[in-house]
Amino acid sequence: ETGVTQTPRHLVMGMTNKKSLKCEQHLGHNAMYWYKQSAKKPLELMFVYSLEERVENNSVPSRFSPECPNSSHLFLHLHTLQPEDSALYLCASSQAARVSEQYFGPGTRLTVT
């Protein structure tokens, strides 16, 4: 595997379900990010991790819970989501937090029914 990978690529879940999104980077980077991409809206930064420490949480509802067990892996745990949470969730990584170019995974297309 190379670059940034994300699983699953597609996910359909009910509002009462619990699921997790997984991201893995194979670039030796120290920072990882979760973004939400909704139709007709700019990319929204959700969380930033640098060396496994969360350095940013942009007023994201508590039904989204990130986890970064090491610098190569990032999870987004989901529970009791709402239909408006349906979106493409993109993971990215960079050498250093915020200031260096980010490399993106292919995203997970989430549909909440």
Closest-CA residue to 2 (of 109, 94, 105): 105
Please answer whether residues 35 and 92 qualify as being in contact, where contact means their C-beta atoms are separated by less than 8 angstroms. Answer: yes
- Give the nearer residue to another protein in terms of CB position, either 56 or 67: 56
Residue of 2, 16, 40, 62 interacting with another protein (CB under 8 A):
40
Q: Which of residues 51-70 bind another protein (CB under 8 A)?
A: 56
Stretch that binds another protein, among 13-21, 62-70, 71-79, 92-100 (CB under 8 A): 92-100
Alpha helices in 1-113 (DSSP H): none
CA 5 to chain centre: 11
Q: Residue numbers of the site for another protein (CB under 8 A)?
A: 4, 6, 40-43, 45, 48, 56, 90, 92, 98-107, 109
